[in-house]
């Protein structure tokens, strides 16, 4: 473990580098931070910190910058993330109130809020419908042979499809199907609505076996939930404002990664279900973000983890502010979703 003096010097270096993006030397530390020791003492301590792997000396610069190990110690042992301010909470609440009226808009605006408050790229992993609870199904007549099928879950998420009405069925038959489905399946997890479950209520829907089989085919089509999760991004242009990403090729690589939804989902599934998780530089699984840090947190609806919010930026990100904003969103996004859901 580091002694108190080394801790103070390391924290001063990291705080300064996060603010300025410039390597820092012992004289600057002595001048800007009242540590009560001489530049020579600070220089010796910085040399020790470099030998221990907490600092690096880029190129021929006289100054040092934090290493991945230094940032990890900073996040784990030195940083006390501030509580989100009442002003920021008011901004978030007002943002949702004025801009978000539908479920999808809540996710879109969450991504925008996170990117603007942290000045980095934000990612929001929306709940899979398969993780939600079935609330009701409704058939809305479109014309004589077509109907719009709407599925509503406990989170307010809607699945809707236009379907052809099978031969032998009419709109009245579909209404009976919906009534029976809603009375028997309300409150059941969507991914548990399988063919055997539907057959259990055959007599309540359509006793005619042939007509029932056609109805089953229809319902299986409607209730088949895509497994692909949806990612909402915010602030991808924020990278261009960061000195670390002045390299055009590096930015291109990141922008290409942002187009790979499966890759982003894999990154976001690494979050712990309880706290805020920070992965720094080479700690990240994917080489493309070895110059970045990812701060992420899961959020819940009625106690069940349903999605993830995250911020991606350079390793020189403002960890305290980012972690405090994500902690707030972790605690409150589920309630916000329930409040703004469309039923």
- pLDDT at position 306, please? 77
pLDDT at 43 over 90: yes
Q: What is the mean pLDDT of residues 63-76?
A: 95
pLDDT band at 211 (very low <50, low <70, confident <90, very high): low
pLDDT at 319 over 80: yes
- pLDDT at position 343, please? 33
The domains of the chain are located at 4-78, 86-128+229-340, 130-223
- pLDDT at position 224, please? 57
Element (H, E) at 150: strand 146-153
pLDDT at 138 over 60: yes
Q: Which residues are within 8 A (CB) of 283 and not within 5 positions of it... i.e. 6 or more apart? A: 68, 72
Q: What is the mean pLDDT of residues 76-94?
A: 88
Asked if 6 and 48 touch (Cβ cutoff 8 Å), the reply is yes
pLDDT at 303 over 70: yes
Kindly list the distances between the CA atom of residue 320 and the CA atoms of 35, 79, 245, 301, in Å, as whole numbers in the listed order.
22, 7, 21, 26
Q: Which of 25, 32, 161, 82 is nearest to 327 (CA)?
A: 82
What angle is formed at CA 9 by the lines to CA 278 and CA 54, rounded to 5 degrees?
Answer: 50
pLDDT at 342 over 50: no
- Considering 130-139, 241-250, 283-292, 319-328, the range whose residues carry the highest mean pLDDT is 319-328
pLDDT at 226 over 60: no
Kindly list the distances between the CA atom of residue 318 and the CA atoms of 120, 135, 330, in Å, as whole numbers in the listed order.
10, 41, 18
Q: What SS3 state is found at 194?
A: coil
The mean-pLDDT minimum among 181-185, 216-220, 266-270 falls in 216-220
Asked if 216 and 199 touch (Cβ cutoff 8 Å), the reply is yes
- pLDDT at position 28, please? 92
CA distance 296 to 114: 11
**Span 86-128+229-340 CATH architecture:** 2-Layer Sandwich (3.30)
Q: How many Å is the maximal CA-CA distance in the chain?
A: 91
Kindly list the distances between the CA atom of residue 241 and the CA atoms of 16, 36, 78, 247, 312, in Å, as whole numbers in the listed order.
18, 36, 27, 12, 14
pLDDT at 292 over 50: yes
- pLDDT at position 222, please? 55
- pLDDT at position 288, please? 83
CA distance 23 to 44: 16
Q: What SS3 state is found at 181?
A: helix
pLDDT at 228 over 70: no
- pLDDT at position 271, please? 63
Q: Which residue has the tokens 């069940």?
A: 304
- Of 1.25.40.10, 3.40.50.960, 3.40.50.300, 1.10.10.10, the CATH number of 4-78 is 1.10.10.10
Altogether, the residues listed in the chain come to a count of 343
- pLDDT at position 80, please? 87
CA distance 322 to 312: 10
- Considering 70-84, 161-175, 190-204, 326-340, the range whose residues carry the highest mean pLDDT is 70-84
pLDDT at 225 over 60: no
**What would the DSSP string read from start to end of 62-100?**
SSBEE-HHHHHHIIIII--PPPPPHHHHHHHHHHHHHH-
Task: Convert 213-237 to b/e letters by CB count within 10 Å (16 or more is b).
Answer: ebbbebbeebbebeeebbbbbbbbe
Q: Which residue has the tokens 């969450």?
A: 110
The class that CATH gives domain 130-223 is alpha beta
**277 pairs with which residues across the strands?**
296
CA distance 281 to 263: 17
Q: What is the mean pLDDT of residues 183-193?
A: 79
pLDDT at 51 over 90: yes
Q: Terminal CA-to-CA distance of the chain, rounded, Å?
A: 55
- Token duo for residue 208: 């005619």
Percent of the chain with pLDDT over 70: 83
- Token duo for residue 234: 């915010």
Answer yes or no: pTM beyond 0.75. Answer: no
């Amino acid at each position: 473990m580091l002694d108190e003096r080394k801790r103070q010097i390391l924290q001063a270096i990291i705080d300064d580098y996060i603010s300025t993006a410039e390597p820092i030397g012992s004289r600057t530390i002595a001048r800007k931070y009242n540590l009560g020791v001489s530049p020579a003492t600070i220089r010796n301590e910085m040399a020790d910190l470099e030998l221990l792997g907490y600092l690096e000396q880029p190129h021929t610069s006289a100054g040092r910058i934090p290493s991945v190990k230094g940032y990890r110690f900073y996040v784990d042992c030195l940083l006390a993330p501030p509580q989100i301010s009442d002003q920021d909470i008011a901004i978030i609440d007002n943002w949702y109130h004025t801009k978000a009226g539908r479920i999808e808009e809540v996710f879109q605006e969450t991504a925008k809020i996170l990117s603007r408050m942290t000045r980095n790229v934000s990612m929001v992993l929306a709940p899979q419908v398969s993780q939600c609870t079935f609330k009701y199904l409704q058939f809305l007549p479109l014309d004589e042979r077509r109907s719009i099928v709407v599925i509503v879950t406990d989170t307010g998420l809607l699945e809707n499809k236009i379907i052809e009405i099978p031969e032998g069925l009419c709109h009245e038959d579909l209404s009976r199907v919906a009534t029976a489905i809603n009375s028997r399946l309300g409150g059941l997890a969507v991914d548990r609505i399988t063919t055997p479950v539907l057959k259990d209520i055959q007599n309540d829907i359509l006793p005619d076996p042939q007509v029932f089989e056609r109805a089953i085919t229809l319902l299986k089509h409607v209730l088949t939930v895509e497994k692909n999760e949806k990612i909402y991004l915010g602030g991808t242009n924020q990278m261009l404002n960061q000195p670390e990403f002045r390299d055009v090729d590096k930015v291109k690589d990141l922008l290409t990664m942002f187009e790979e939804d499966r890759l982003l989902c894999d990154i976001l599934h690494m979050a712990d279900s309880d706290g805020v998780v920070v992965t720094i530089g080479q700690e990240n699984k994917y080489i493309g973000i070895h110059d970045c840090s990812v701060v992420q947190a899961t959020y819940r609806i009625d106690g069940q983890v349903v999605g993830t919010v995250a911020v991606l930026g350079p390793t020189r990100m403002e960890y305290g502010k980012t972690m405090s904003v994500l902690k707030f969103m972790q605690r409150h996004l589920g309630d916000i979703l329930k409040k703004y859901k469309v039923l």
